[in-house]
C-alpha cells in the first residue's frame, strides 16, 4: 500500500487543521470521491468530509480505514470503492470478500451509524467489465440487505441511457471519471435516499 502513502499523509494533515464541529458525513473511497469538488454545495444540509484518495481499491480503503476514517468519528459513512479492484482484474467474489472485510471494520468501530455503499458505476472505459460489475453489485447488494443500518445505492442504473449503455455526458473525456453532470446525477440519487443515509 506504499504507493498511497503520500496522499494519505496529506489527508491526515488536512484532518488535523480542518475538523469542523457538529454532525459529519464522511465520503470515502477512490478518485470518484476525491474529484467531487462540489461535494459541500451539493449537500448543504450536512457537513460532507471528502476522504477519497486516487486509485484506491477496497483493499486500500480497508487498510487505511483506522488512519483516515476512525479519527473523524463520523455520524454517517458513504463508500465508493470496488471499481479499481475490478480494473485490476480481481474477480467479483474477491471484491465481495473485501467489501465484507470493510463492513466488519465499519461495524467494529461504529456499530450504529448509517453505512452506505454506492454501486460500481458503468463507465465507458470499463464497459468490457460490465458483466463483472453487474455481478459484483448484485452480490454486495445481497450482503447489505442482511446488514442492519446499511444501505445500497444504485448509481449504475441511473447512469445508463435508454439503450442500456453508459450516458457519455456523465463522464469526462477519459471515459472513467465523472463529469459535473455525472456528479449531479449522483447528488440527485443520494438526495432521494437522504433520510436513511444522512439521517435527515
Dist CA 3 CA 5 (whole Å): 6
Q: Report yes or no: 95 and 82 within 8 Å, Cβ to Cβ.
A: yes
pLDDT at 64: 96
pLDDT at 188: 96
* Residue range 27-83, pLDDT digits in tens: 999 999 999 999 999 998 888 999 999 889 999 999 999 999 999 999 999 999 999
pLDDT at 24: 84
* Residue range 128-181, pLDDT digits in tens: 999 999 999 999 999 999 999 999 999 999 999 999 999 999 999 999 999 999
Look at residue 19 and tell me whether its pLDDT is greater than 80.
no
pLDDT at 23: 60
* Residue range 107-126, pLDDT digits in tens: 999 999 999 999 999 999 99
Grid cell, residue 139, equals 452480490
Residue 190: partners with Cβ closer than 8 Å, 6 or more residues away: 43, 78, 118, 153, 197
3-state secondary structure of 156: coil
Q: What mean pLDDT do residues 170-193 have?
A: 96
pLDDT at 185: 97
Dist CA 35 CA 54 (whole Å): 9
DSSP bridge pairs for 78: 27, 116
* Residue range 87-103, pLDDT digits in tens: 999 999 999 999 999 99
Q: Report yes or no: 118 and 155 within 8 Å, Cβ to Cβ.
A: yes
Look up the CATH number of domain 23-198. 3.40.50.1110
Q: Report yes or no: 72 and 49 within 8 Å, Cβ to Cβ.
A: yes
pLDDT at 54: 87
Q: Report yes or no: 59 and 96 within 8 Å, Cβ to Cβ.
A: no
Q: Report yes or no: 56 and 81 within 8 Å, Cβ to Cβ.
A: yes
Dist CA 81 CA 75 (whole Å): 20
Q: Where are the domains of the chain?
A: 23-198
End-to-end CA distance of the chain: 36
pTM: 0.94
Amino acid at each position: 500500500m506504499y504507493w498511497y502513502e503520500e496522499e494519505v499523509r496529506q489527508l491526515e494533515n488536512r484532518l488535523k487543521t480542518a475538523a469542523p464541529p457538529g454532525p459529519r458525513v464522511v465520503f470515502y473511497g477512490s478518485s470518484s470521491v476525491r474529484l467531487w469538488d462540489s461535494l459541500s454545495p451539493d449537500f448543504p444540509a450536512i457537513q460532507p468530509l471528502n476522504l477519497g484518495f486516487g486509485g484506491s481499491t477496497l483493499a486500500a480503503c480497508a487498510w487505511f480505514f483506522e488512519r483516515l476514517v476512525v479519527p473523524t468519528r463520523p455520524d454517517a459513512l458513504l463508500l465508493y470503492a470496488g471499481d479499481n479492484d475490478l480494473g485490476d482484474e480481481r474477480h467479483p467474489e474477491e471484491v465481495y470478500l473485501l467489501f465484507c472485510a470493510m463492513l466488519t471494520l465499519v461495524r467494529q468501530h461504529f456499530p450504529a451509524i448509517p453505512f452506505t455503499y454506492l454501486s460500481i458505476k458503468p463507465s465507458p472505459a470499463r464497459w468490457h467489465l460490465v458483466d463483472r460489475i453487474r455481478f459484483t453489485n448484485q452480490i454486495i447488494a445481497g450482503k447489505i440487505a442482511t446488514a442492519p443500518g446499511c444501505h445500497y445505492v444504485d448509481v449504475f442504473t441511473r447512469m445508463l441511457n435508454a439503450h442500456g449503455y453508459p450516458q457519455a455526458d456523465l463522464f469526462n473525456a477519459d471515459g472513467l471519471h465523472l463529469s459535473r453532470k455525472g456528479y449531479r446525477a449522483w447528488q440527485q440519487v443520494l438526495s432521494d435516499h437522504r433520510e436513511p443515509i444522512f439521517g435527515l
